[in-house]
Amino acid sequence: MTDRYERQRALAQIGEEGQRRLAKKQVAVIGAGGLGSPVLTYLAQAGVGTLRLVEFDTVGITNLNRQFLYTEKDVGRKKSAAAREKLALLNSEILVEVRDAELTKENAEELIGDADVVVSCLDCISARLIVDEVCIRKKIPVVEGGVSGFFGFVLCVGGDGPCLECLGYDAAMDQKEIPVLGAVAGVIGSLQAAECLKILLGAGEPLYGRLLQYDGISGTFDEIEVKKNEACRLHRRAEAGKEK
């Protein structure tokens, strides 16, 4: 069969079965900005059956140095509508569900729904911690990624691995208008998409308990082994919630 998936179906980790498996999966992507652009693009192109996109923001001109889902013509439009349109042009065989909402403690559970994997593409630590907590409670793997300037990181949250709070991230660290080089957001978002596809396929070794850091200035990657903090309040709350 010749179709758009030919070159990836040829991989031992995918094949006919893996391709069918991807078509049945649902991924929630929280944030359709600098990280969300590569994540949504690659997941759509790979043939993930349902993409749920959560984004409340409007396209601004300052987004265009990195958020390649949008063009100058989209400035002033809702990102959710513009992203859905672009993704439908890339792959009409998948379903793109849009939730035009800001993720909060109150709505996070509903927005995440019963996704197989959540990819966290947020620029705000407080919302990331909410995503981690809901997903630990619901046993949904999260692919975290973040960027600042020339630097970025990726970590998969789930199983016995740590969450962002275990690593010392705190809502008080939230910063507005973080400087970002578009290409660095592209590196990190592409890694998040690859990790998400690995988890969906059950292939390879996802980055659970392994923090991958990218330093674009020196052009180096570092892998740091990270462990769950037994005193982590987020983990404790999420695990207490599981028993209810």
Footprint of Zn ion on this chain (CB under 5 A)?
Answer: 163, 165-166, 232, 234-235
Contacts of 189 (CB under 8 A, 6+ apart): 34, 35, 36, 37, 38, 39, 121, 145
> Measured from the CB atom, is 52 or 137 closer to Zn ion?
137
Dihedral of the alpha carbons of 27, 160, 214, 183, in degrees to the nearest 10? 10
Find the helix or strand (DSSP H, E) in which 32 lies: none
Please give the distance of CA 203 from its chain centroid, rounded to a whole number. Answer: 18
d(CA 38, CA 74): 17
In angstroms, what is the minimal distance from the CB of 234 to Zn ion?
5
Find the helix or strand (DSSP H, E) in which 210 lies: strand 210-215
Q: Give the nearest residue (CB) to Zn ion.
A: 232
> Measured from the CB atom, is 134 or 232 closer to Zn ion?
232
At residue 50, φ and ψ (nearest 5 deg) are: -130, 125
In angstroms, what is the minimal distance from the CB of 58 to Zn ion?
33
Q: What amino acid is encoded at 43 in this protein?
A: L
Largest interatomic CA distance in the chain: 53
Q: Count the neighbouring beta carbons within 10 Å of the beta carbon of residue 88.
A: 14
Please give the distance of CA 54 from its chain centroid, rounded to a whole number. Answer: 11
In angstroms, what is the minimal distance from the CB of 161 to Zn ion?
9
> Measured from the CB atom, is 14 or 156 closer to Zn ion?
156
Q: Count the neighbouring beta carbons within 10 Å of the beta carbon of residue 65.
A: 13
Helix (H), strand (E) counts: the chain: 8, 8
> Measured from the CB atom, is 85 or 239 closer to Zn ion?
239
